[in-house]
A and B are shown apart, each in its own frame.
Chain A
Amino acid sequence: MKSKKQKRQGDFQKVQLKVGKKKPKADNATNVNFKSKAIHLPEQLKHADSGPTTNRQLDIKDLLSKLHHVNSNIKQGALVGLRELLSGQPTLIELHASAVLSEVAALFTDKDGSVRAAAVRLLRFIAQCIPPERVAPFFPLLSAHLTCAMTHISEAIQEDALRVLDVLLEHYPGLLSQRHTVLLTNFLELISQKRKSGTGQDKAGKGAFSLTISTNRKVTAQQWRLTVLLRLGSFLQAVVEERPLEEGVISRIGLGMWAGEKGSVTPVDVSWEEHAFGKGKIQVFENSGAVPSPHSAYRLRPDSKAGGGMNKELCSAETVQGFAGTLVPLLLEIWVEAAGGDSVQTDSDHLLSAEAMALMFQILTILQLLRRLTPQRDQQDILDAWFRNSYLTDFKHHFMKNFPYGLREVARHKKKADGKRIRQQVAAGTVAGTNVEPLALNVTLCQVMVTLSLRGQDHIEAEDADWLGPIRVFIRETLSNGGKLSLKHLAALLEVVWRMIVTQRSRVVTDDLLQAVFVQYQQRNLAVSVRTLLLRFFSRLYIQEQQNHPHIARSRILACWLASLPVQLVQLGSRNPQLSAQLLETIHPAAARGNKDLLQSLQKNACSIYDPQEGCVVVLPVESQKRLVQILHFLPAFPAELLACLSQVCNTGRVSASLATMLIRSVHLRSPLSGCSSSLQDVPVKDVDYLSFFFTTLTGFSSEMLRALQDTDEDGLLPSSTLSPLSVFATTLEQFLHHWDIVEEVCHCLNTLGSRAQCFDVIQNAINKNLCGLVVVPDCVCAAILRCVPRLLDVNFLPSDTLLHFLSDCCLSMLNLLLQLEQSARKRDAVWEACFAALSTVPRLLRLVLQSFHVFDLCEEELPVLAQILSLLLQHTQLRNHMMANASLLQHIIQDLTHFYGGETREQWLTDLLYCYSVTLSGHRTNMGMRDIY
C-alpha cells in the first residue's frame, strides 16, 4: 500500500518553474523547423470511364450543368464548349440528344443576345448530324420553345426565333409542317395584333388583325415584315411539299407540271419466255381478287377507316379560307404600304425599289402557296372561286394598277445610306430575299391573277378581259422578244399560258399565246432542259387537252409544231438521245391518233428517218428504235424507196433481230395480202412492192451489192470448184445468224399469204431473174434460199428446172462449206438444217445433186471431201429413203470413186463411206425383205 503511494508521488512530480530560467521544452512539442509549399490542383483527377472531354477537360455533364448558370458568359462558353465537344465526338450526339436538345431549346428565350446566337449555332450543328426521324420524339419540345420565343415580348428574341425557324425549316421541314396550327398564328402575331373586338372601327372587309408598327426595332417595319414573310413563305412551301401526295393529283405548278406521271399500282411485268420457263411467277390479284385494290377511284361501300393525321386540318378548303381570311387583308395592307411609300417620291408608279419589290414578291408567293394548300382538285376549285369572290376587286385594284413593274435605278449618291441599310439587312437576315428580278415579280403576279380566272363561262370572260388583257400582252412580249429565259421563269410563264388557254376558250387568244411560245421554241441554242420543258408543254397540250377543247385542236400553231417534229428528229440524229426520245413520245401518240399534219410530215421525212446508214432508226438507242418501228404501223403509205430502206435496215444488223422481225411483221400487217386490214379503199403497201420487199429481205443483199460482190476478191471468198459450183462468200457469224432469224420471219409471213402456189411462182421467178447466173453468192443467201423454198413449196406445184439447178448448186456449195465450218456449232446446224430440208422436201433435188458429182473431174484432194459429203447424206436416217430411190446412181458414184482412187492402202474416209453405204443398203434390204415376207 505504501509503496503504491510512493509510486504515485513519483508519477506526479511537480516541475518547478523559476523566474529567469528558460522554460524547459515539453516532451511532446512539435518541431516546426520545416518549409512547406502549397499543392496546386489545376484539374481534377478523372476516372478512366468518364468519357471524352473538351480542351478544358469538361465533360458533357459539366457543360450541361453550366447552361443553367446565372452568368451569361459562362452559358455562352458552355455552348461553345458543347459544340466543340460534339463536333469532336459525333457519337455523343446520339447518346445525349434528349438532354442537349432540351437544354439548348431552353436557351432560345435567353435574354442575352450572344447566348441565343450561340444556341442557334449549336442547334444548326446538331441538326446537321441527326436525321429527322431521330429528332421526331423531341420535336414537340423544340417547337414549344420555338413558339415561346416567337411570341416573346422582347423583340430581339422574336428576331432570333426566326433564325431558329430557319434552321428547323432547312433540316426538318416535314416535322415542322405538322405544327402548322400553332405556327401560322404565331406568324400573324409577329407582324400584326388582334383588333379589339369592342372598338367597332374595323370594317367588315378587314380581318380581325391589324398591322403593327413598332418604333424601337433596329430595322424598318418593311424590312421586318419582309423577314417574317420570307419565313412564312418557306414554311408554307414546306407544308405543301411535305404533304403525302394524293392519288391522281399532279402538282400542277412549276417544273413538276410537265414532268412525267407515275401510277400508284406497280403492275407485274413479265415476258413470255420467262413465264414459259417457270422463272416469272405471276401473282396478280391480292386477296385472291375478292377486294378491289385500294386505288380504285370509287368505293362500293364507304371506307370505315378515316385517314387520321394532323395534316387533315389544312387540306379542306374551309380551313384554308379561314386562315387566308385573316392573312390576305394583312398582305394587301403591306402591299399598299410598299407601293405607296415609293410612289410618293416619284411619279412613275410602276418603278419600285428593290426592297418593295422583294416584299411584293413574297406576298405573291404566299398567295400562291395558300392556293396550293388544298391538295384535292375539287377543293382547289372551291378555293379559287372563293378567292375570286372575296378578293378579285382588291387584287385588281392593287396588283394590276401598275402592272408590269420595273426596278427603279438607285442613284449612286446614296451609297452611304445603302451601305448602312445593307448592314441592317444582314443583321436581319433578309439579304437572300431582297434581290428579286422584276421579271420574277411580274411572272408571279400573272400566276396569281390567272388562277382567279374561271373556266368557260362567257359572261365572266367579258368581265375578266380588262385585267387579263395586260397579262396577255406582257406574256406575249416576254416570250417573243427573243431573250432567253431561265428555266424557272419559263415554267411559270408556261403555266400561265396553259391556264389562259384552257380557261379562255378562244381561238384568237390560243393562237396568240402559242405563237409567242413557239417563237421561244424556235430559238437556237436553247439549253437542253429549257428545250425539254417547251417540248413537254406542247406535247401535253396536244395529248391531254386537245380532246376537250376544240379550239386547241384546231390551233394552227399546234399543227405547225406537230409537223415540225419529224424534221427535228432527222436533224437531231444521234446527238441527243433523250431529246429524241422526248420527240418520239409525242410523235407516237399523234401518229396513232392519225393526226394529218404529223403523218404528212412523217411521210415526207420517212426515208431519212429510216435511212439504213444514218437514219434515226439505226443511230438511236433501243427503246427509241422500238418506237420508230411501231410508228411505221401508222404510216399512210409505203412507197418503194421506203421499203428499200427498211429492207436494208433489217439486214445491216444495226437493229436487233427481234426488232427487225417486228418491222417485217408490221409491213406484213399493213399489206392487203395478209388479210388483216379489211378496208379496200386505201392500199398502204402495193402488192408488187410488198413482194419485192420480202424478196430483198430474204436475200439480205440488194442487187447492187450482189453485183459488186461478183468482181471483188476478198479474203472471205471461197473459190468455186467442181464440188462447189458457186463461189461462196462467207459472211461473219453474227451477220449469218441475224439473217437467219430474219429469214425465219420472212418465211412465216410468206407462208400465211393467201395463195401459196402463186406466191411460190413469184418467188421462183425472182430467184431465177436475180440470183441464178451469179458466180459469187454469200453463204447466208444460199442458206436463206434453201430454207425458204421447201417451206413455201406447194405439193402440187412443180418447180422449174432453172430453179432446181440453182438449188442443187447452192446445196452442193453449202454441203462443201459445211465440212469446212468448225468455228460455230450454230452456223453448222443452220446450214445443215437448210440443206436437209431442201433435199428431203423438194423432189428431184437430191437426184440432181447426185448427178452433179462427176467423179472423173475431181482431183485427188477433193475425193475425201466428196466421200464425206456422201457419208453425211447416208448417215441421216430421214434422207435414207430418198437415197434409196437413187440407189443405182449412188452405186455408180461409189464404184467410180473406188475405181478412180485405186490406191493400195484404204484410207479412213473410204472405209467410212463404204461402211455407211453398206449399212444403208442392208437396212433398206431388210426392210424390203420384211415387206416381202409379210
Chain B
Amino acid sequence: MGLLSRKATCNSHGQDSSYFLGWQEYEKNPYDETKNPKGIIQMGLAENQLSFDLLESWLAKNPDAASFKRDGQSIFKELALFQDYHGIPEFKKALVDFMSEIRGNKVTFDPNNMVLTAGATSANETLMFCLAEQGDAFLLPTPYYPGFDRDLKWRTGVEIVPIQCSSSNRFKITESALEEAYQQAHKKNLRVKGVLITNPSNPLGTTMSRAELDLLINFITAKEIHLISDEIYSGTVFSSPGFVSIMEVLKDRQLEKTEVWDRVHIVYSLSKDLGLPGFRVGAIYSNDPIVVAAATKMSSFGLVSSQTQYLLSAMLSDKKFTKEYLSKNKKRLLKRQNKLVSGLEKAGISILESNAGLFCWVDMRHLLSSNTFEAEMELWKRIVYDIKLNISPGSSCHCSEPGWFRVCFANMSEDTLKLAMQRLKSFVDSMNVNDSNKSHQELKNARKSRSRNKWVFRLSFQSFHDREQDER
C-alpha cells in the first residue's frame, strides 16, 4: 500500500502539461524592458493589467474602504472575526448587481443563490463535488482551459469527455458533436451528469451565440442533466456580438421555475474582469437551493478573506465607478486586441475572429511542418526557446486540430506587445526564407534537403529535453 494517496502520486493535477511548462520556462528567463530585454515575453497568462489606474484612483478617493473603516470608525475587529460562510451580505449584493450590470441588466440575480469561493478554481471544483462523483463525466467543448483537467477531475474523480469542435465552423458547438460526446461517455461506462461551457470562451475569445445556447438548453433538457456556464470573462466582451448569458436565454424562453432552471449553474470571478486574481474571489450561482446549501457548506474549505470582501463590497457598490470601469476597460481591451491582430497580420498570421477575453486564438497551421501535433509541439518549442514568446499550444487546450495557439494581449505594456510582434515577424520571415530555400534545394536534391530539415527540428527537440533534465 502506498504511503501517500493516489491523488498525490498521479499527475491528474495536470501540471506536467505543456501549458504549465511554458510558464516554468518563462519564470527562468522572464523578459524585462531594461534588465532582461532578451528574455521570454509572457503571452500565456490570461491576466487583465490594462485598468489598474482606475482601481488605484478609486482607492485614493475612498480611504475608509482602504483602511478597515466605516464612517471613520475602525471595523477591523468585526472583519477579522467574520468567518460566516454566507459571506458579507453587502458584498454579495454588490457582486450580483455587478453581474447584472455586465449583462446589461437583462437578468437579475438573488444574493441568496450565490456562494462565495476562493476563486473560480474552487467554484468549479466545488460544483463538481456537488453534482457528480467517481464514474460520472461532464462534457466540455474543445478547446478548453487547461486548468479544468485539475479543477474538475483531480480530487473529485469526475471525468471530462470532450465535445469536439472544429475550425470548419469556427469551433461552434453542434448538435451532432454533443450527441457524439454523449455516446462516447457511454462507451466508456461513464454516466453523463452535465455539460460545462466557458462563455465567453477560453481560449477562443468568442461569445456563444444564442443559437448555441438554445441548443445546449435543449440538449440538457432532453438528457436531464446539468449545465455549468463559467462566465469568468463576461466583463471582457469588447465588441459585437455582445454577451448573451445563459440566464437571459432561459428567461426569454420562459423556463423560469421549470426543472431545467434548477440545473443551470453559473461560475463567476473577479480575476479577469477586474484583474484581481490574487484576491481569490469566485462565486457559484445556482437556482437549486440544495446545490446552494451544499456548496455553501463546502465553501468552508475556501472562503474569501473578509478583508477582501469588505474592500470589494465598497468598490462594487459604487455604481458610478463600476459603470466607468466596465466601459473604459472594454475600450482598452478592444484597442489592445486590435494591436495584436494587426501585428499578427503583418506576420501573415490570422486569428479566429474574436470579441471577448484577454487573448486571441491564433491560426499557425500554415507554419507547421506537417499537420500533426508533433509538428505543433516543434513549432511551440521554437516559439518559446528561439523567439522567446510564451504562448499556449492548442494541444494543451485539447484542441482537436493542430496548429492553433492562444496568445494573450492584456498582461503587458503596449511596447512589449510591439516587441513581441516584431520577434514573431522576424521568425516568420526567416521561416519563409528557409522554405523558399528548401524548395530550391529540393529541386536540386530532394532527399538531402529533407534529411537536413529533419536534422534541424531534431536538434531543437533534443535541446529541449536536455534543458528538462537540468532544470526540472
Do A and B pair up? The answer is no
Q: Interface residues, chain B, CB within 8 Å of chain A?
A: none
Q: Interface residues, chain A, CB within 8 Å of chain B?
A: none
